[in-house]
């Protein structure tokens, strides 16, 4: 007699619960209005199999991008045109579990994206950045994009030179240097949803985990959902403090370069070269 494999309800899957909680928090912070923002979360097959029959493909969606380096990899992703505020009440319509095809030119929907939905239009950008971060850190799993309010505002008022932008954020909150010692990458303004913006972001992601899209938002990468959310949250808090400081008339004092260096030594992190004048 053939053994029948009993699967758990996907609603109980930890990776789905993480996506629901994170999208809800991002919306609550006001960083993902309407259908703004997207997340992709790299899953191990052993995490998926208890909840889904991976031999059953619902639909196959072509891509204009070669993701063969990720062939066979599983992701849970937010949907194109979907609102983060609706994920909690209807995850199956707003999220999807996908697998990259063997030739890397399409993805297979294994769950979700009901009623004809598809993955975020930024999927190629996400995949490019997963590929880059995996080449740097084999434990990498999460790419997160959102419209963090004060970071966007800073992109209008602060010089868009990476070293200077990073230094300002480090000065605003003591923890910033510890959380992102490699600093922030910045790309030019580029039309979103294109391979061009993905390539520019991925080039920066070779060296940083935060990339600012001027006048648009922020891209973050991390090994866990909490780490990635916390990374963006920390930078956004610093940008908020900067906004308040400017409104109060500007800095009268700040954390000195010597103090920042002492902080780095205490927490055993290496600040990005060329920022501190020591």
Instruction: Please list the residues that pair with 59 across neighbouring strands.
Output: 109
User: What is residue 55's DSSP assignment?
Assistant: T
From 18, 122, 162, 236, active-site residue: 122
CA angle 267, 268, 269 (to 5 degrees): 95
Q: Are 236 and 212 in contact (CB under 8 A)?
A: no
- Output b/e per residue, 11-38; b: 16+ Cβ within 10 A: eebebbebbbebbeebbebebbeebbbb
**How far is Cα 143 from Cα 272, in angstroms, rounded to an integer?**
22
The H or E element containing residue 267 is none
**How far is Cα 273 from Cα 267, in angstroms, rounded to an integer?**
17
| Residue whose pair of structure tokens reads 């010692």 in the numeric block | 181
Nearest to 239 by CA among 179, 188, 172, 176: 172
Nearest to 147 by CA among 223, 241, 238, 34: 34
Nearest to 125 by CA among 95, 80, 160: 80
236 is catalytic: no
Q: So which residues are the catalytic ones?
A: 122
């Amino acid at each position: 007699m053939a053994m029948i494999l009993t699967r758990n309800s996907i609603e109980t899957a930890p990776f789905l619960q993480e996506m629901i909680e994170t999208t809800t928090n991002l919306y609550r912070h006001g960083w993902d209005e309407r259908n703004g923002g997207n997340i992709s979360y790299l899953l191990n097959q052993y995490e998926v199999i208890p909840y889904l029959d991976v031999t059953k493909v619902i639909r196959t969606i072509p891509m204009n991008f070669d993701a063969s380096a990720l062939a066979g990899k599983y992701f849970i992703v937010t949907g194109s045109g979907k609102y983060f505020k609706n994920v909690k009440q209807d995850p199956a319509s707003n999220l999807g579990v996908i697998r990259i095809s063997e030739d890397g030119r399409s993805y297979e929907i294994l769950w979700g994206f009901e009623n004809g939905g598809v993955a975020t239009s930024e999927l190629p950008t996400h995949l490019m950045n997963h590929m880059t971060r995996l080449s740097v850190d084999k434990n990498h799993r999460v790419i997160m994009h959102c419209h963090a309010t004060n970071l966007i505002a800073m992109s209008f008022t602060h010089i868009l030179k990476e070293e200077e932008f990073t230094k300002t954020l480090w000065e605003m909150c003591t923890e910033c240097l510890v959380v992102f010692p490699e600093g922030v990458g910045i790309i030019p303004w580029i039309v979103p949803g294109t391979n061009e913006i993905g390539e520019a972001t991925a080039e920066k992601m070779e060296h940083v985990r935060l990339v600012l899209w001027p006048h648009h938002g922020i891209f973050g990468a991390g090994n866990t959902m909490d780490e990635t959310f916390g990374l963006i949250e920390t930078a956004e808090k610093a940008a908020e403090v900067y906004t308040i400081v400017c409104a109060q008339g500007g800095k009268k004092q700040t954390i000195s370069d010597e103090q920042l260096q002492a902080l780095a030594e205490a927490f055993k992190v290496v600040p990005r070269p060329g920022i501190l004048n020591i």
